Amino acid sequence: MAGLRPTSPHAPAARLSRTAAILAALLVAGLSAAPAAHAGMFDDDEARRQILDLKSESRARLDKLEAANRAQLELANQLDNLKSEVAQLRGQVEMLTYELQQAQQRQKDFYLDLDTRLRKLEPQTQTAGDTAPAASGGDAPAAGAPAKPAATPQAEAKEYEAALTLFKGGKYKEAANAFDAFGRAHPQSDFAPSAQFWLGNSFYAQRDCKKAISAEQVVLSKWPDHAKAPDALLTIANCQQELGDHKGANQTLDRLVVKYPDSRAAQSAKDRLKKK
């Protein structure tokens, strides 16, 4: 036909070549883009892994901090509890100290009151005809030596009262010296048993229990029937208790109850024995 161009025998081959070239270019482009995409995917995984690691590490640190805080809180609570217990114990110690002081004061007042009552029953002044007979034989004073005037009952009472005033004033060491001097100077005085008793109590007030026991034992050996004898036994029992000799203290209290059952000291001994 006149209007149509003749077809070249090489046209299909040319088109195939162009198509192949395009496909090859696309394949090359795809291959070159694949490593980049794979690298991008790898980078995302690594980032997520690192984030997870950071979260895990942060959680571990938070757990440690919480544990430390709990431990500090427990220690603070224990410290508060210990402070409270110490305060309570301090209060109990102060209360016991106060009660001990009150008990000691009551005991001293009891002894002083008892001594006052007993002194009212003791002999007072003596008449001129009641003076002691003159010594004879070996007891006579040496020739030319001035005779020592005998102390009057008034002087003895004044000396004894002065020693007792020292004890009442809490001057126990001075009182002990005064009572000891009185006993040496007036061994036959009507006040001698009481002076010896208060000598023991002066030692007891100084917490010298061994000397107190020795002094009170003199009362029991020289004047076992005196009104101070039961109280001397009670002081001995108190000293034995403080020295830790509980068995000896109980035995002394039993002895007091048996020997002086009607005394006020015996009643006190009975009360103490009931509590044991």
Identify the pLDDT of residue 250: 93
d(CA 175, CA 164): 7
Domain boundaries, the chain: 19-97, 153-275
Identify the pLDDT of residue 181: 96
The reported pTM is: 0.52
15 to 8, 21, 22, 171, 177: CA distances (angstroms): 12, 10, 11, 139, 146
Q: What's the fold here for domain 153-275?
A: 1.25.40
d(CA 247, CA 113): 30
Quote the percentage of the chain above a pLDDT of 90. Answer: 41
Name the residue among 193, 258, 187 with its Cα closest to residue 219: 193
d(CA 54, CA 42): 18
Residues with Cβ within 8 Å of residue 263, at least 6 apart in sequence: 230, 231, 256
Identify the pLDDT of residue 231: 95
Average pLDDT across the chain, whole number: 77
pLDDT over threshold 80, residue 124:
no
Q: 196-250, pLDDT tens digit by residue?
A: 999 999 999 999 999 999 999 999 999 999 999 999 999 999 999 999 999 999 9
Cα dihedral: 175, 176, 178, 183 (round 10) = 140
Q: 69-98, pLDDT tens digit by residue?
A: 889 888 888 887 787 677 657 655 655 654
Q: 6-55, pLDDT tens digit by residue?
A: 555 555 566 666 776 776 666 666 656 555 555 555 577 888 888 888 88
pLDDT over threshold 50, residue 119:
yes
